[in-house]
Structure formats: C-alpha cells, structure tokens
C-alpha cells in the first residue's frame, strides 16, 4: 500500500486532521488516509518532566506500521519531549516510515493567548509536512520559508509555508522515484 496514514494518538480535532491531510497530500503527491485512533504507549508519561516521551510514541507507531511503503503519522495533543530537549514539536524516523506531531505547544492557549483554530491548523500542517519529509530522507533546509527548515520556536514555524522549496521538492522527487522503482522491482522480479 502506498501513501500515508494519519492516526489520532489518541485524539485530535477532525477539522485539523482534514487540513493536515490536504497539505500532506499536496506536498508529497501521495494518497493520504485517516486511520483509527492509536492509544498512548504505556510508560510514555514522565512524572518528573510532566511530559510524554516522543521516542516511546514513535516506537508505538513503528509497531503498528502498515505494509510498506505506506507511512504512518501520529497526531497527538500530548506535550512531547526527548531527553536532551525541553520539548519537541514532533519526531520522525529519517528514511523510515513513522512520524509523530504534537499539537500541545502549537496551541496559542499553551502560551497564554486566546485560542485560534485556523492558526493551530496551519501550524500542525507545516509541522506534519516537516516530520513526514524526514521519513523521505529530507534533512533540515536553510530556506526559512521551507517546511523542512528547523523550527525551534513558534515564530520559526509561523514563518514557514507548507510547500517544500524547489530544492527539497527535487530531493523528494528523487526519493519518490526510488520508492516507485523499488515497488516496480517487487512486482516484476528478475
């Protein structure tokens, strides 16, 4: 199965998922479908940090991967961390098939501002394109408008678009081409 599955982990607003799936489909030119909810992995909560382990979330998604080359993106409301950072907006397997995005810090209300759903949806879509881009082997881009540029804070994220820049698009096309060739080789063994 080709394409990308989007899984609420364990829940995310439906209009936000609609927007994110549309932008992912456009950025990667792949079919995007919604999967059923995925439960938080047992043991991912850190009492000392008051956050959830991004690595455990990614591991839980890897355990539920659909058949290759389909990718799986989890979208969670939970605030995620990795041990060396105070938080992460998301995490992905570079050249892998699993990625996760956290909505917690994308919400204006997390920062004491009034809720703004359209802003939250735009942020989530850009962050989703970024993490899924890593699964296609894309690394951080220096173009600040490109979704593959590194965001360490919300102003960084708000500066981006959801459309990969020409150079990331070219790399992505190469990666998709390789994926298609591999799938073709499996259909026609020689």
Please confirm, yes or no, whether 186 is among the known catalytic residues: no
To Zn ion, the closest distance from the beta carbon of 165 in angstroms equals: 3
Q: How many CB atoms lie within 10 A of CB 33?
A: 13
Residues 74-109 as b/e (b if ≥16 CB within 10 A, e otherwise) read: bbbbbbbbeeeeeebbbbbbeebbbbbbbbebbbee
Return the residues of window 126-165 that contact Zn ion according to CB under 5 A: 141, 143, 146, 148, 165
To Zn ion, the closest distance from the beta carbon of 55 in angstroms equals: 15
| 40 scored as a contact of Zn ion (CB under 5 A) | no
Q: Name the residue nearer to Zn ion (CB basis): 120 or 146.
A: 146
Q: Name the residue nearer to Zn ion (CB basis): 53 or 149.
A: 149
To Zn ion, the closest distance from the beta carbon of 85 in angstroms equals: 12
The residue count for binding Zn ion (CB under 5 A) is 6
Contacting residues for 152 by C-beta, under 8 A, at least 6 apart: none
* Alpha-carbon distance values, 52 to 68, 82, 95 (Å): 28, 9, 24
Residue for token pair 């979208």: 75
Return the residues of window 162-181 that contact Zn ion according to CB under 5 A: 165, 168
Q: Which residues lie near Zn ion (CB under 5 A)?
A: 141, 143, 146, 148, 165, 168
Catalytic residues: 131
């Amino acid at each position: 199965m080709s394409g990308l599955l989007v899984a609420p982990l364990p829940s995310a607003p439906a209009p936000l998922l609609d927007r994110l799936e549309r932008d992912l489909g456009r950025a990667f030119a792949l079919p995007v479908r919604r999967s059923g909810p995925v439960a938080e992995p047992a043991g991912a909560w850190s009492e000392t940090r008051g956050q959830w382990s991004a690595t455990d979330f990614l591991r839980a998604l890897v355990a539920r991967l659909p058949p290759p080359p389909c990718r799986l993106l989890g979208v969670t409301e939970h605030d995620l961390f990795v041990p060396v950072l105070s938080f992460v907006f998301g995490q992905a397997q570079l050249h892998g098939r699993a990625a996760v995005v956290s909505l917690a810090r994308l919400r204006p209300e997390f920062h004491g501002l009034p809720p703004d759903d359209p802003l939250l949806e735009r942020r989530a879509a850009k962050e989703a394109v970024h993490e899924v881009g890593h699964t296609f082997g894309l690394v951080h881009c220096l173009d600040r408008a490109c979704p593959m540029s590194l965001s360490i804070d919300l102003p960084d994220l708000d500066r981006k678009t959801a459309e990969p820049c020409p150079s990331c698009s070219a790399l992505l096309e190469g990666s998709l081409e390789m994926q298609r060739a591999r799938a073709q080789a499996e259909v026609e063994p020689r």
